[in-house]
Amino acid sequence: GENVEQHPSTLSVQEGDSAVIKCTYSDSASNYFPWYKQELGKRPQLIIDIRSNVGEKKDQRIAVTLNKTAKHFSLHITETQPEDSAVYFCAAIPGGSYIPTFGRGTSLIVHP
Amino acid sequence: NAGVTQTPKFQVLKTGQSMTLQCAQDMNHNSMYWYRQDPGMGLRLIYYSASEGTTDKGEVPNGYNVSRLNKREFSLRLESAAPSQTSVYFCASSAGQSIWEYFGPGTRLTVT
């Protein structure tokens, strides 16, 4: 089955800095890669996703890149703000499946 | 449109007691899922239901049973609770392959 590794487990930045979270996956059949943000005590919420036919996708301060050859994808947050502080999860879903495999999460702390 | 709802929000059980966690969605999604979330372990799939009338085991099904009561509702039952089942439980739904997953607000379960 699919295996997703996520790094780092904790990331501490100053407000205004950029943050990058990286994930690798094992199943070359995976073709959909969503990212979730989970604030303390709340449910995970989808913030951005990317499909395997695209190398990069942006949404305001958030971007995701995908390298299919190397089987890794990354979340980039620019101009971080304290409200970006949360746990971020990556996931990978093989084509023909509807079952995501999640990474273990990255706790992002943005210091004012 | 309430999305995905779960009851109860909090529950404390004694070892050996049983209980059922309820989940409902009003988005006409075919697929529903139960996850548990433990610190540092990410989201682990317990059971899922691809469509009404079908259920399948996920990564950590031992000690749990599920029922897909109809298209809207998917319940999770603990027959004999154990302290190892202390966790936060999330229900989720999706429209199918490579589509967003929506999470419920979670149930925080403590087994003493």
**pLDDT tens-place values along chain A, 112 residues long:** 889 999 999 999 999 999 999 999 999 999 999 999 999 999 999 999 999 888 999 999 999 999 999 999 999 999 999 999 999 999 999 887 888 899 999 999 999 9
How confident is the model over B31-53, as a mean pLDDT? 92
Nearest residue of A to residue B99, measured between CA atoms:
A98
A91, A101 in Cβ contact below 8 A?
Answer: yes
Q: Which DSSP helix (H) or strand (E) runs through A72?
A: strand A72-77
- Per-residue confidence (pLDDT) for residue B2, from 0 to 100: 80
B41 CB neighbours in chain A (<8 A) are: 104
> Which residues 49-88 of A are in CB contact (within 8 Å) with B?
49, 51
Position B98 scores a pLDDT of: 57
Of the pLDDT bands very low, low, confident and very high (cuts 50, 70, 90), residue B42 is confident
| Predicted local confidence at residue B97, as pLDDT | 63
Chosen from B94, B101, B107 to mutate, greatest number of chain A CBs within 10 A: B101
In B, which residues are within 8 Å of A51 by CB distance? 98
| Percentage of chain B exceeding pLDDT 70 | 96
Overall average pLDDT of the B43-53 stretch: 93
Q: Whole-number mean pLDDT of chain B?
A: 93
**Which class for B63: exposed (0-12), middle (13-18), buried (19 or more C-beta within 10 A)?**
middle
The predicted-structure confidence for B61-106, as pLDDT tens digits, reads as follows: 999 999 998 999 999 999 999 999 999 999 999 987 656 778 999 9
| Residue at token pair 């027959």 | B79
Query: According to the model, what pLDDT value does residue B99 have?
Result: 67
| Euclidean distance between the first and the last CA atom of chain A, given in angstroms as a whole number | 41
Answer yes or no: do B40 and A9 touch at CB < 8 A: yes
3-state secondary structure of A3: coil
